[in-house]
Amino acid sequence: MSSLPLLGQPGLDATFAWLPDGPRSAGQYLADIAALQALLETAAPTGGWLLNLCQDRYRFAVGFAAGLLAGKTSLQPASQSPETLRRLQADYPGLLCLCDSDFDSLDLPRLDFPAQLALQEDDQRAAVNPENPPKMPLIPAGRVAAILFTSGSTGHPQAHAKTWGKLLANGRAEAERLGLLQQAHAIVGTVPVQHSYGFESTFLMAMAAGGSFWAGKPFFPQDIAAALAVVPQPRLLVTTPFHLSALLSAEVALPPVDLLLSATAPLSGDLARCAEAVCQAPLFEIYGSTESGQLASRRTTEGDAWQLLPGIRLTQTGDVTTASGGHVEGEVPLGDLIELAGDGSFTLVGRHADLVNIAGKRTSLAYLNHQITAIAGVADAAFFLPDEAGPDGITRLAAFVVAPGMDRRQLLAALRQRIDAIFLPRPLVFVDALPRNSTGKLPRSALQALFEERLAHGSH
């Protein structure tokens, strides 16, 4: 089977990452990988799984590659809730957590990212000896390098295995579409590196296209401006509609940005036009999913239609659209309702009813309902997604629950153990019974009526 180099960097001197204390070259990256690999190979347990919880993008990148070379596959769950950690622990025996913060990893085996790998510059220089440069590691293309998870519908996280060859091909296809193969950009991402969009558009794109990334994850508008100012032009800002909207509303002074990228939820034309006018740079959106990887892009100001990335095919049976080809692993049914145009482009016309996307985080109502009804003391419960307030606003979930003997505080505490805080219900409404029909089904219209009644006769 063919093998592919870890890095597409033009040379070992090329910058791979920008840290607060200065740039890290591709060569220094390889030296850091080798140092961490040695630690991972001796750290207990020696199983084949690495839960890389590093918040710093560079440390994640070192952990990911060192794990690969030490025979560990990167596990990248959709949430880091205690319930998720327990599931992973049970399903992936011998799992080791790699942490760079005081994140509570429960009692899971843990390795804290060593400070000296990244900080002792003298060691770094010694490690990248020009007489004896580090060798570029080769990774078999068919090797499963990462498993990304979606929340699934049964309460069990659903695993999506990604081979090294397909991951690199995804990064390369995206870089090609954005023109990054001709000119490497410095990437600043506001999204976590573990989740599919951030993984693909910051880490993988830099690996595949020879670019570089800012190690941090700027959050407040002022942080984004500061991070952009640290890296050289051309700069690519990888963000979401939510962060972009906050950035533009804050009206902070931004250094020049050369390219904007948004994903996780469709952006409105108004926000896209505003972003392009403020930054004087083109804005592209990426369409994809954890299951399929990235599939298409569009320049939002030029229209609603999406153009497929190289090699990707979409086919339809009924209202289900399936993606295949290119870097897609097998055949992947999509959660969105799609209208194919004759020229290979498509438009999104809606999503399958069960799917939920809150500020770019995805799950399903079935999953949430499974989690809430699994709480001891809950007799019956249902989550409800109200109709969206506006194209770029955040709509929150509601939940109706039958739980005599429990109060709001107890129930929310139990839910927090199981689901991401973004999905916690607002409001959480206690009822005597859910409006189930004679077959036990709960029509959305019945929940809609309950929700409207609640709005009309709310607590105030």
Partner 1 sequence: MSEANAPQTVDALLPEVAELIVSALNLDMYPAEIAADAPLFGDANDGLGLDSIDVLEIALVVSKRYGFQLKSDNEDNIRIFSSLRALAAHIASQRTK
- Residue of the chain from 123, 223, 304, 336 that contacts partner 1 (CB under 8 A): 223
Nearest 5°: phi and psi at 150?
-110, 165
* Cα three-residue angle 99-358-100, rounded to 5 degrees: 10
Q: Which residue has the tokens 């573990």?
A: 194
Q: Which positions ≥6 away from 46 have C-beta within 8 Å?
A: 94
Evaluate whether 47 touches 94 at the Cβ level (below 8 Å): yes
| CB 458 to partner 1: min, Å | 7
Evaluate whether 216 touches 57 at the Cβ level (below 8 Å): yes
Nearer to partner 1, 101 or 154 (CB): 101
Kind and range of the H or E run holding 314: strand 313-317
* Structure tokens given for 148: 């990304």
Q: Please tell me the count of residues contacting partner 1 according to CB under 8 A.
A: 29
Q: Which stretch binds partner 1 (CB under 8 A): 27-35, 114-122, 246-254, 297-305?
A: 246-254
Measured CA to CA, the distance from residue 248 to residue 233 in angstroms comes to 20
Task: Answer yes or no whether residue 441 interacts with partner 1 by CB under 8 A.
Answer: no
Nearer to partner 1, 12 or 247 (CB): 247
Parallel/antiparallel/unpaired status of strands 380-384 and 345-351? unpaired
| CB 293 to partner 1: min, Å | 25
| CB 419 to partner 1: min, Å | 11
- Residue of the chain from 281, 359, 402, 442 that contacts partner 1 (CB under 8 A): 359
| CB 420 to partner 1: min, Å | 8
Nearest 5°: phi and psi at 420?
-65, 140
Task: Answer yes or no whether residue 23 interacts with partner 1 by CB under 8 A.
Answer: no
| CB 163 to partner 1: min, Å | 32
Nearer to partner 1, 39 or 108 (CB): 108
Q: Which stretch binds partner 1 (CB under 8 A): 25-33, 200-208, 249-257, 438-446?
A: 249-257
Nearer to partner 1, 31 or 248 (CB): 248
- Residue of the chain from 123, 380, 416, 431 that contacts partner 1 (CB under 8 A): 416
| CB 297 to partner 1: min, Å | 25
Q: Which stretch binds partner 1 (CB under 8 A): 31-39, 213-221, 263-271, 318-326?
A: 213-221
Task: Answer yes or no whether residue 103 interacts with partner 1 by CB under 8 A.
Answer: no
- Residue of the chain from 111, 278, 355, 424 that contacts partner 1 (CB under 8 A): 424
What is the DSSP code string of 293-330? EEEEEEEGGG-S-EEEPTT-EEEEETTEEEEESTT--S
Measured CA to CA, the distance from residue 42 to residue 353 in angstroms comes to 47
Task: Answer yes or no whether residue 391 interacts with partner 1 by CB under 8 A.
Answer: no
Pick the closest to residue 329 from 176, 157, 142 (CA basis). Answer: 142
Task: Answer yes or no whether residue 226 interacts with partner 1 by CB under 8 A.
Answer: yes
* Residue 338: how many other CB atoms lie within 10 Å: 20
- Residue of the chain from 106, 112, 219, 232 that contacts partner 1 (CB under 8 A): 219
* Structure tokens given for 405: 């003997």
Task: Answer yes or no whether residue 442 interacts with partner 1 by CB under 8 A.
Answer: no
Measured CA to CA, the distance from residue 392 to residue 268 in angstroms comes to 7
Q: Which positions ≥6 away from 95 have C-beta within 8 Å?
A: 45, 47, 49, 50, 51, 75, 88, 89, 108, 109
* Residue 20: how many other CB atoms lie within 10 Å: 10
Give the number of residues written for the chain. 460
Q: Which stretch binds partner 1 (CB under 8 A): 36-44, 217-225, 274-282, 339-347?
A: 217-225
Nearest 5°: phi and psi at 143?
-70, 130
**Cα-Cα-Cα-Cα dihedral of 390, 320, 354, 416, to 10°?**
-90
Nearer to partner 1, 226 or 278 (CB): 226
Footprint on this chain of partner 1 (rule: CB under 8 A):
218-223, 226, 242-243, 246, 249-250, 252, 358-359, 394, 396, 409, 412-413, 416, 421-422, 424, 426-427, 458-460
